[in-house]
Structures are given as C-alpha cells and as structure tokens.
Amino acid sequence: MGRLYNTRVNIIKDHLLYGIIPFWRGLRDDVHGGFYGEMDYDLKLYREADKGGILNSRLLWFFSHAYSITSDREDLSCARHAYEFLRDSLLDKEYGGVYWSVTYDGRPSDDTKHTYCQAFAVYALAAYYDITRSEEALRLAYGLMDIIKEFCRDDIGYLEAFDRSFKPVQNDKLSENGVMASRTMNTLLHVFEAYSEVYRVHKDEAVADELKCMLDIFRDKIYNPEKKRLEVFFDFNMNTIADLHSYGHDIEAAWLIDNGCEILGDLEYTNNISRITKELALHVLQAGFDGTSVYNECFNNVNDTRKVWWVQAEAVLGFMNAYKKTGNEAFREAASNTWEFIEKHIIDTRAGSEWLNETDREGNPLRKEIAGPWKCPYHNGRMCIEIIRRNLNF
C-alpha cells in the first residue's frame, strides 16, 4: 500500500496504518495471552509486567475499530486475541466483573473491581460484537452491565471502587489532587461512552433509558454553568470537592456526549445538551489552549502546563467536532495547530516507539512510559479513526 500525503485526513490515516497499529501489534503476547503490560521511556519492554484490565479492554476496542477501517485480518486476529484474554483471564468467574489487573500469565494480581474498568470492558465487547456478531461477546457485555446496575448504580449516580466481591472500598485509583472522591466525572463519562457503544450496535430501550439518566446527571450535577466546565471530583452526595478544570476531559466530553446523543437519536436531549458541549469546547479553547496545544489542567487557579499525549489527541477531535457544529474558524485553527504540535513533539520518531506520554510546555520530552496501564492507543488511535470516518480535513 502506498503512502498518502495529499490531505490532512490521509496524513492521519497514514500515521494510523504505519505508526500506531504496527506498534501495538508488536506488543502482542502469543505465549501468555493479551498484550505486554509495560514499555518504559527507554523502550525497554517488561514482558512480566502485570496486564491491566483497562489496557487490554482498550486494545480490544482499538483493534476492533481498526479492523473496521483496514479490513486487515491481522487486526481482526489482534482483536480476537484481546477478546480471549479478557474472557479467559480478566473476567472473575466466581464473583463476576473484570479485575483491575492480572499477572503476565493471567492470574489475578489486583482484584479490585472498579466501575471505570467494567465500563471499558463493556465498551470493548460491544465493539468486538460489531465486527464479529459474537453472541458470546454481547452476552458478556450485558452481564457486566447487569453487575454495574446491581452493585455500582444507586439513586444518585454511580459509585466506583469495590473489592473482589463488590464491597465498597476507597476510590484511590480514580482520585488525585489530594482528595478521595466517592464519585467522579471521569467514570460517569466512560460509563456513558460504553453504553453509547452498546446502543450503537444493539438497540435496546433499557440502555437508552440509562443514557438519558446519565445525560441528566451531566446536565444537573456535573456541569458548572457559572464556570462553564465539568466538575471532576465529588463526595457521596455529588458535592464537588476540588477546584479543578480538566481541559482534556472537558474537550473529550464535548465530542463524546455529542456522539452519544447522535447515537441515542433523541432530539430533546440533543438540543438540551448541545449548548453545554459547545460551551465546554469554547471554554477549553479560551482557558486551556496556548496557541499551539492544550495544557493538562487547572487546579486552584494554577495551570499545569504539561502537554499530555491523550489531551492533545482529544483536543484535535474535540475542536474539530466543535468546528463542524459552529463553523467557528478558531476551533479549526486550534485543531490544526494541535496536530502540528503532535507531529513535532508528541509522535516519537525513535524506531520501535509510538507517542511520547508527556512533554513540558515547550514540547521537551518527559521520561514517562510509552506503554502501560493507562498508555495505550485508545485516545490517539480513536482520534485517527474518527478523523478518517468523519473525513475531517483541517
């Protein structure tokens, strides 16, 4: 296949085909299943590192969607490989749910059950069902949604952290900035994302009802209309407990919620939420974009000016989504500049690498892992896939 450089869409497709996909194919573990769990900044691969439930689920989602773009049987094989590892090693056969992590050879390591982790498994299983029509995969997805409903959902929203048998524990895995949150915007966003994927591939009014409930929570509890941002960390009763503006999550949420509303197809919800997602994108542009790319976050009115890989990926897609909605050229220009920053500073040109994890404000690399429990092709791969599918030239 020849390389394509005539449009920005084709540049990004080229990067997906010749950069991101081959790197992650190379981390496939054909001895113990799944994909290797860690590669450090110096490109040392740790073959006996734990394998995270989030990492493996995101890889299952990624290769399922990659196959829908490439029709390459090797991508289908990688998706099947990830699926079998999730089914056989990450799913708890005794108590149900997906482990936070397992050892390199598939034994439980951290047997915490987290709503966030369950959601990504649902997300991945729905994507795999879409390309294979595997009834087993769909059944597993619905089984995990039943667990979320039974153990994680309450009258207020979603609780998050549990031990192996689903007794509540402290939410240390999704808390930071000196707080211990009972509920987070991040988990709710990705439960919404997962259920949107299920509804996309298998229309079910019970799932649609859950999506509407989550949209209500975003509108009434998560969105701060005065500060035009999503609040991040909450106590049990959904009171915010930190002065934090997460630029990456807000620009990601802006397009993900729009996408979920489109899948849902409810005009009333779409109209109600569209104003909020437009305001989220505009506020990130005004507060978090420095003319080249997007800062990490703002905590207690102080910007963290690091440039994190996933924030830049979501900014490209989120700004382009806002441009298509509004026609505001500032969004298109911001997407273009952010992609140029990615090309210059985030894409790692060393042989055997992928994207850098973080840089400083000017784009100088920080020594963080290249692959790990959170560092995977979910954000950057998805950005490429969505730009290609939507034909978003900028």
The two tokens of residue 264 are: 């849902």
Write down the pLDDT at residue 48: 98
Question: 215-257 pLDDT, tens per residue?
Answer: 999 999 999 999 999 999 999 999 999 999 999 999 999 999 9
Residue 224's SS3 state is strand
Q: Which domains does the chain have, with CATH numbers?
A: 8-390 (1.50.10.10)
Q: Which helix (H) or strand (E) holds 307?
A: strand 307-308
Question: 171-217 pLDDT, tens per residue?
Answer: 999 999 999 999 999 999 999 999 999 999 999 999 999 999 999 99
- DSSP state letters, 108-126: EEE--EEHHHHHHHHHHHH
Residue 114's SS3 state is strand
Q: What distance in Å separates the CA atoms of residue 200 and residue 111, rounded to the nearest whole number? A: 30
Write down the pLDDT at residue 319: 98
Write down the pLDDT at residue 174: 96
Please report which confidence band the pLDDT of residue 112 belongs to, taking 50, 70 and 90 as the band edges: very high
- Tokens 């437009």 map to which residue? 278
Crossing angle of helices 309-326 and 329-341, in 10° steps, is: 160
Q: What distance in Å separates the CA atoms of residue 136 and residue 141, rounded to the nearest whole number? A: 9
Write down the pLDDT at residue 283: 98
